[in-house]
Structure 1
Amino acid sequence: MLESYRYVQNENITVYYIGNDMRFVVEVKEGILYAYKELENYFHLIDKGFSIRAIIAMNRREYNYISKMILKLRGNNESKKSQVAITSKNDLLILSPFAYEEESTYTYDEYKLKKVIYSQVVHIFHEFLSLNSEVSSTWIGQGIAMYLSELWKEGEVKKVINEAIKKDMIPKLNEIQENESLYKIWPWTIVKYIEETHGKETINKIIRNYDVDDIFNILKCSIDDFEVQWKIWLKDENNLS
């Protein structure tokens, strides 16, 4: 299905592209390699590496087609304009930045694209490391990806959180777990809190064992006790810097 595409390969990364999208090949390849090497260290991936195939889709129509036919993501037939990248197993699909102006809510920025790529590579690591990633928590996966990629430093995310803290309107954990709009904003703060109070080894354990162990069993505390301490931690503005 990629017969009309050219590709460039470097180490364990292969990037497929068509025509003018060659302009972004080096950027995508280097972004993936950078993320891979950092995450390989973070998740202690010793002698257990894997390859990543990236595909740059020239427009939204091609993006949706590849998503369905190659990535096998049946629920992504009509992707939203806010989506410019998605993963499945070892595949990373990226909308060409040339299509951003008319077919996305993004404005092309090399620095921002690097962070988007990083967050997607986190999802690939999550799926690779998890015993059963299909039943692992959506919110914790989203939180880890946003936290490690530092996407939380971009846009309105921190502004929304700071305003909620000032107004004493921090959501409950069960609300975050059940509400898509909330788990796109808050979970990185939970991951940051866990890493700073329990260490990154605990993040590793959660990633690898979430489907067989409840997060709060791993943390050895109840959800209520965790929520109290997390909210106290949130109110110290130095913790979100």
Structure 2
Amino acid sequence: YLWFNEENIKVGFTEKDRKFVKETSIALKGAIKFFSKYFLLEKSFPVVIAILAPNRKEYDRLVKELLRVGIETPSNPGRIAQPQRTDLVLLAPSAYSKDSIYEYSPEEYKRLIFHEVVHMFEEYLSPNIEASPRWWGEGLAVYLSEQWKHEDDVRTPALEGIRNNNIPKIEEIQKDVELCYQYGWTVVKYIESTYGRKMILNIVKNCADGDVFKIIGETVGNFERRWKEYLLNEEEI
């Protein structure tokens, strides 16, 4: 791999993906700066290392051997990014047409990087990242990266559920991976709108057992009722 180094980031790439290095580095720097401010970091975030894998086979190898994350191989074509601590493996956009279900879009690529950096910050700040519920982690990343504003796969199902007054229960979201992405962000948005950013930070920094609602101080039933009322009346969704 060739390497690009600047300030608090390193980007590894092969020659054919050199054209994506600048936007990758700009997005990483922008995300680190934005989330350092959002999460009120008192010291600099550690150096982030991102690698642009030139194809699916190399992506899988890096995820397994570098990140030590167990995945099926060949991995699902919907997988194009995997963070672990402050390392990030990305499938290079040049490989999207052959090795993924996505088409490359500069705007979506930037939001993808912001999404993955949210995961890095949560892991960095969490007292026990292994206990963090998937709906919370993915909801936080979809919300703070603003994917919920632009990307149909997470936005449309929620809008249709709200329009038809067919919003799933919190328990259903907790158990269903797709619902974690489609509705998790609505829960995070409600929490920030109702309790403020301080509550988001409180959950990220202090939720050691995965019980988000205990941190909020609400029963799941009461929270669910108020969250659904919010969604049915909220105009900015």
Q: What is the TM-score normalised by the length of structure 1? A: 0.94
- Which of these residues, 15, 22, 28, is aligned with residue 26 of structure 1? 22
Partner of 1:64: 60
Between the aligned partners of 1:162 and 1:94, the Cα distance in structure 2 is 29
The question of whether the paired residues in 2 share the 8 Å contact of 1:59 and 1:99 is answered with yes
Partner of 1:193: 190
- Which of these residues, 220, 225, 233, is aligned with residue 230 of structure 2? 233
The question of whether the paired residues in 2 share the 8 Å contact of 1:131 and 1:211 is answered with yes
Opposite residue 103 of structure 1, the aligned amino acid is: D
Is 1:9 the counterpart of 2:8? The answer is: no
Is 1:210 the counterpart of 2:204? The answer is: no
Q: State the secondary structure of the residue aligned to 1:161.
A: helix
Partner of 1:174: 171
CA apart distance, 1:184: 1.6
Is 1:163 the counterpart of 2:174? The answer is: no
Partner of 1:36: 32
Is 1:106 the counterpart of 2:106? The answer is: no
The question of whether the paired residues in 1 share the 8 Å contact of 2:97 and 2:103 is answered with yes
- Which of these residues, 44, 51, 62, is aligned with residue 47 of structure 2? 51
Q: State the secondary structure of the residue aligned to 2:167.
A: coil
Sequence identity percentage? 37
Partner of 1:117: 113
The question of whether the paired residues in 1 share the 8 Å contact of 2:153 and 2:182 is answered with no
Q: State the secondary structure of the residue aligned to 1:211.
A: coil
Q: State the secondary structure of the residue aligned to 2:3.
A: strand
Alpha-carbon spacing, 1:213–1:63, altered in 2? closer, same or farther (3 Å) = closer
Between the aligned partners of 2:199 and 2:234, the Cα distance in structure 1 is 24
The question of whether the paired residues in 1 share the 8 Å contact of 2:132 and 2:210 is answered with no
Alpha-carbon spacing, 1:71–1:213, altered in 2? closer, same or farther (3 Å) = closer
The question of whether the paired residues in 2 share the 8 Å contact of 1:17 and 1:25 is answered with yes
The question of whether the paired residues in 2 share the 8 Å contact of 1:176 and 1:187 is answered with yes
- Which of these residues, 108, 124, 129, is aligned with residue 128 of structure 1? 124
Cα-to-partner distance string for 1:110-150 (whole Å, 9 max, x where unaligned): 11100000000000111111011011111100000000001
CA apart distance, 1:48: 4.5
4+ runs of 1 displaced by more than 6 Å?
none
CA apart distance, 1:237: 4.2
Alpha-carbon spacing, 1:236–1:183, altered in 2? closer, same or farther (3 Å) = same
Alpha-carbon spacing, 1:206–1:80, altered in 2? closer, same or farther (3 Å) = same
Unmatched 5+ stretches in structure 2: none
The question of whether the paired residues in 1 share the 8 Å contact of 2:131 and 2:209 is answered with no
Number of residue pairs matched? 236
Opposite residue 83 of structure 1, the aligned amino acid is: R
The question of whether the paired residues in 1 share the 8 Å contact of 2:11 and 2:52 is answered with yes
CA apart distance, 1:214: 2.3
Alignment RMSD (CA, Å): 1.2
The question of whether the paired residues in 1 share the 8 Å contact of 2:213 and 2:220 is answered with yes
Between the aligned partners of 1:223 and 1:18, the Cα distance in structure 2 is 48
Unmatched 5+ stretches in structure 1: none
> Equivalent residues in 2 for 1:90-101 (5 A)?
90-101=86-97
